Amino acid sequence: MSDLLGQVYAAARPYLESLSTRPVQDGAALELLESLGGPLPAEGSDPGEVIERLLRVGAAAATTSSGPRFFHFVTGGVTPAALAADWTAALLDQNAFSKISSPFAHEVETVALDWLRSLFGLPTSWGGALVASATFANFTSLGCATHWWGARLGADTAADGLSGLPRMPVISSGYVHASARKALQMLGHGRTAVTVFARDGAGRADLDGMRAHLTGLGGAPAVIIANAGEVNAGDFDPIAALAGLAEEFGCWLHVDGAFGLFAALSPRTEHLVEGIERADSIAADAHKWLNVPYESGFALLREPARLGAAFGMPGAAYLPGPGDPASGYALLGSESSRRARSLPIWATLAAYGRDGHREMVERHLDLTQHLAALVDAAPDLERLADVPLCIVCFRAVPPGVSDLDEHNRRLGAALLADGRVYAGTTVYDGRVALRPAIVNWRTTAADVDLFVEVVRELNVALTIK
């Protein structure tokens, strides 16, 4: 065992030291992936040879999404403390099901959740659950909303399901994310359950339309999804205004703050999340701007007791049930057996504190404005939206090109194939665009400069062709 772990340790240093200079993706190295396949071995191989092959192929072919030049998908890196704690989580191999399965994992999770609550300035009465991703954070939050909605109609959806009930009304702006729709899909409401009210092609919230719709429901309970950090340009719904609507019409307000919730850390951007403390639930990703390893999301609830009501397990003689002092977080979310994913969160917050994470957010805000300035100064690039947070939405506009959407699709594909830096395309207000996001603790101005240089270089090459 120690020899195998020694192989991983020996490979870690050169890999980590290469992150700041290596390409995000080496296309030639992807051919090595074939060496991992073939029939299932009957007798197996020497474990040392197996780990050597995995490390050799992985170090060459892995996407360096934890490096400073990965600007795709709003993906963070991994702080040193978080990485070491994640290794510790694998070493200790705790089942964070309950207090009885691991008092250690339960306590670390309790502290980590309280620190996250404090980090975002939420009242001490709030609680939450650690989950695998923002999608599961939305699932957990909207699962509590579903149970609340059913109770308003005199039903217990946790016990009896949705049969016989009307469809749960859900409204949002055009910023509503696919993960929220997927959560509603998994909860049995359907991905089309959301009624969108947008006042323009970008998706900005139509508050008047929402008010008219809620009035038309005649007092029936409904769910409002507010979006803190839209993925194409980093824009925000007016959370305080939506909180006012929720309070006026008796709605459940859920805030999807996958990465935008971290705006609360900076005095420059905290106004963007004004009103989040008036929400009923908040979903976010720790493996984005908190810079901890996958899989790490969290759901925060104004009334944390709703988690147990919605997700408590049916009784089993050998398992601790609701109210049992030996129970734990498995009864507050969708997973039963659970990895101790709290350890990296606890470690990065303990190591760098509130001030360290605020400084990181501030630095990323500066880098994002630097990127926006480079785009604005380039005659062959066009910014398409304001830059409120950590995303710059822009497209290439080379002279003489009539179909800019097709050109930018080709540019996005060329950027990913090139591999030196990484960012994909989206469609913003009907136009194909790039939308690089800066949330990695390693990213510097030099990385941003290189990104713009590569984009412009490939833009010229495609235009000449």
Residue 336 pLDDT class (50, 70, 90 cuts): very high
3-state secondary structure of 119: helix
| Cα separation, 91 vs 13, whole angstroms | 19
Beta strand 194-196 pairing with 394-396: unpaired
* pLDDT given for residue 93 in this prediction: 97
pLDDT in tens, 226-285: 999 999 999 999 999 999 999 999 999 999 999 999 999 999 999 999 999 999 999 999
DSSP secondary structure code for residue 383 in this structure = E
* 301 φ/ψ angles, rounded to the nearest 5 degrees: -125, 135
Residue 30 pLDDT class (50, 70, 90 cuts): very high
Whether the pLDDT of residue 316 is over 90: the answer is no
Tell me the residue length of the chain. 465
Whether the pLDDT of residue 315 is over 80: the answer is no
* pLDDT given for residue 306 in this prediction: 96
User: Cis omega before residue 49 (within 30°)?
Assistant: no
Whether the pLDDT of residue 7 is over 70: the answer is yes
How many Cα atoms occupy the beta-carbon half-sphere of 198 within 13 Å? 15
Q: Contact 241/207 with Cβ under 8 angstroms?
A: yes
How many Cα atoms occupy the beta-carbon half-sphere of 73 within 13 Å? 14
Tokens of residue 193, six digits: 């359950």
**Lowest mean pLDDT across 317-331, 410-424, 447-461:** 317-331
Q: What is the mean pLDDT of the chain?
A: 96
Whether the pLDDT of residue 323 is over 80: the answer is no
Backbone CA torsion sign across 426, 427, 431, 437 = negative
pLDDT in tens, 120-176: 999 999 999 999 999 999 999 999 999 999 999 999 999 999 999 999 999 999 999
Residue 318 pLDDT class (50, 70, 90 cuts): confident
Q: Contact 338/313 with Cβ under 8 angstroms?
A: no
* pLDDT given for residue 62 in this prediction: 95
* 332 φ/ψ angles, rounded to the nearest 5 degrees: -120, 15
In CATH, which of 3.40.50.300, 3.40.640.10, 3.30.420.40, 3.10.20.30 is domain 84-349? 3.40.640.10
| Cα separation, 38 vs 342, whole angstroms | 36
pLDDT in tens, 340-386: 999 999 999 999 999 999 999 999 999 999 999 999 999 999 999 99
Q: Contact 411/401 with Cβ under 8 angstroms?
A: no
pLDDT in tens, 436-457: 999 999 999 999 999 999 999 9
| Cα separation, 65 vs 417, whole angstroms | 15
| Cα separation, 165 vs 431, whole angstroms | 40
At residue 136's C-alpha, the angle toward residues 121 and 353, to 5°, is: 30
| Cα separation, 357 vs 352, whole angstroms | 7
DSSP per residue over 358-418, as a string?
HHHHHHHHHHHHHHHHHHHH-TTEEE-S--SSSB--EEE--TT-S-HHHHHHHHHHHHHHH
Residue whose tokens read 């074939």:
34
Burial tier of 434 (Cβ tally within 10 Å: 0-12, 13-18, 19+): buried
In the chain, pLDDT over 70 holds for what percent of residues? 100
* pLDDT given for residue 465 in this prediction: 67
Whether the pLDDT of residue 423 is over 70: the answer is yes
How many Cα atoms occupy the beta-carbon half-sphere of 145 within 13 Å? 35
Whether the pLDDT of residue 322 is over 80: the answer is no
